[in-house]
Structures are given as C-alpha cells and as structure tokens.
Amino acid sequence: MKYFRQLVGSAIAASILFTGAAVAGTACDKTPVAPQRSEAIGRDMIVNGVPISVVGMQFEGTVDDVSKAFRAFWTAENAPAKGRSTASGLMLSAVDGNCLYLLNLPLPQERAYTRGLMSVIRLGTGEANLKIPDSAIPLPEESKVLSDVESRDRGQTGRTWLLDIPGEARWNAQRYRNRLVSQGWVNVGREPEYQSVGMQSPQGKAFAMQRGKDSVDASFSDRDGRTVAVINATRNR
C-alpha cells in the first residue's frame, strides 16, 4: 500500500508538467503491457487541471521484462518510450498523439512478477470538464493551491484542495467558516481540535458544512508559522 501511495504521488507530480491541458478526442485506451491483474485507483480524475486515469497493475516477469515489453510496444507504434530512474524505481513514458502513458515500476526485486502503476494523461488545448466547478466551492481567502484533485464514481464527485495560507490555523478556520455561513452554508458536523505530535496545545480546526447537494469537510493545521488546509468537497448526483 505504501508503494502504491508513492506511485500515485509520482503520477500526480508528473501531471503538474501538463497543467492546463485537457480532454482530447483520443480515447487513450491502449495497453502497452498486458497485466495479470489490475485494480482501478482512479479511472476518471482531474489532477491540477489535467485529466488522468490511474490503474494499479501486476505483470508477469521482472522489472526488466516489463520495461523491455513497454519499450517494444511503443517502438512498434512509432512512439519510442523514454525511461528515467527515480528514488522508488523506474518511470517509463511514451506520448501517443494526445495521450501520455506513464508506467511506474519498483526497484528490481527477486520475484517472478512485478507490480506497477499505469497512468494515462489526456492532453489537449481546452479546459478540463470539472463536475465541481471553481465557482461552486469558495476557498479560504489568501490561500495558495498546492494540489487540486477531482475524482468521480457513479453516484458522487469529490474534489480535494491542499492549500497553503498565511497566519494561524485557528484564525483561518474561523474566518473560512464565517465566509461559508455568509454564503448560505450550514454546519453539519464539527470535529474536535486535534493536536500535532510533540505539541502541547491544539494545533488546528476541522468542521463540515453543506449547501444544497454540495458538502465541504475542512481541516486546518499549523506548520512553521503558516496554515496547511485540506478542503474536501463532495457533490451527490
């Protein structure tokens, strides 16, 4: 599980390079290396404005076998793959039209199978089709967006922002809550103040609010004299 979290982080980091790209007409549905089994982690996501699908896969053979198969597939497609070593293993990539295929593999191990993460990023020139638009959820004042991820399933859409805000968490949490109330949001739950490890006093605030079919869970914590906030919005279809 820890390995997959690291790989998802790598996929999100890679998507930052393509911020501003959007869904193109291309299906982006090729499978460079057939897996033994697969698990959908996020088939319909928008990460920092970029449409991306993420699937965990298990392949037969070693990391080297999978790497060679990936490269051979794209050579045959006239889209040679590139490779780059990372702290967690090997990152392979290939651009096919408006589709960027990214395969993250672990460091070589002595076993007959290999687990990896396949990310497919769709590139284009239009705006991403967000189901929870920016206008639907006000963010805290003076906040800087560090990451922005929207994911969808059949009944619900979720969008999560990681924010950096100047000032103390307690003040920023109260100010944000007041802003939501002024715009018609109502309180549906309030979490107890939580305490960071090694600290002697409460370091943050968390609460939940709702307006119509949209709900917001917000948490604020102090870090190095500033505030780190996580705003998680959900919309029921």
For the chain, domain boundaries: 2-122, 134-236
Q: Is 3 helix (H, G, I), strand (E, B) or coil?
A: helix
Query: How far is C-alpha 59 from the chain's CA centre?
Result: 24
> Poorest-confidence range of 20-29, 99-108, 183-192, 205-214?
20-29
Which range has the top average pLDDT, 22-31, 34-43, 188-197? 34-43
Contact by Cβ (8 Å): 151, 161 = no
Alpha-carbon distance 47 to 102, whole Å? 15
pLDDT exceeds cutoff 70 at 202: no
What backbone phi and psi angles, to 5 degrees, belong to 177? Answer: -60, -45
- Average pLDDT estimate for 218-227: 95
State pTM to two decimals: 0.72
Q: Which residues make beta-bridge pairs with 106?
A: 89
User: 57: which 2 tokens?
Assistant: 């896969």
